[in-house]
């Protein structure tokens, strides 16, 4: 493996982990937003500000992580050498994570419009989806079971 490949791979891992940190925390903010009393405007606005900033930051991290992943795949052929279906399942997982981030945007919009109908308990479960996706993607990338 060449030195440039290893550097790109290292930064890909860093940006993926950072992207997921945002995905782990953004739904947690939704849990708190769902629990805010109707008369607590300052708390609601503070949480919305945090959620907006985190969503934008997670999007930037996603773009860099995906760009580096594409570079590894198309520039160095990563994923083509191992054989099996693990790589395609991993790509499916990545597509699911992108979809999950866009679902988060929809929930954020509903909070901004005072149209959220989900409970804090629902968001607690929703929060765990990113952990399951992260686990699946890491296992596929490291263990390559298929």
Domain boundaries along the sequence of the chain: 3-143
The pTM for the full model equals: 0.93
Rounded mean pLDDT of the chain? 95
pLDDT range class, residue 81, cuts 50, 70, 90:
low
Supply the pLDDT for residue 82.
60
Distance CA 80, CA 78 (A): 6
Whole-number percent of the chain with pLDDT over 70: 97
**What is the DSSP track for 48-60?**
HHHHHHHHHHHHH
The DSSP 8-state label assigned to residue 111 in this structure reads: H
Residue 115 CA, distance from chain mean position: 24
User: Which pLDDT score is estimated for 123?
Assistant: 98
Q: Which residue is associated with the tokens 């999007």?
A: 59
Q: How far apart are CA 126 and CA 47, in angstroms?
A: 18
Tokens of 18: 């950072």
Average pLDDT over residues 117-146: 96
Report the percent of the chain where pLDDT is more than 90. 85
């Amino acid at each position: 493996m060449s030195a440039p490949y290893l550097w790109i791979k290292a930064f890909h891992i860093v940006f993926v982990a950072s992207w997921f940190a945002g995905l782990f925390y953004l739904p947690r903010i939704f849990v708190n937003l769902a629990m805010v009393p109707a008369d607590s405007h300052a708390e609601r606005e503070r949480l919305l500000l945090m959620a907006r900033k985190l969503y934008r930051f997670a999007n930037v991290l996603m773009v860099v992580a995906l760009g580096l992943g594409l570079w590894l795949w198309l520039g160095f052929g990563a994923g083509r050498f191992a054989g099996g279906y693990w790589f395609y399942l991993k790509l499916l997982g990545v597509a699911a994570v992108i979809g999950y981030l866009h679902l988060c945007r929809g929930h954020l919009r509903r909070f901004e419009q005072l149209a959220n109908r989900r409970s804090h308990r629902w968001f607690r479960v929703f929060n765990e989806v990113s952990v399951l996706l992260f686990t699946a993607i890491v296992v596929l990338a490291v263990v390559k079971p298929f």
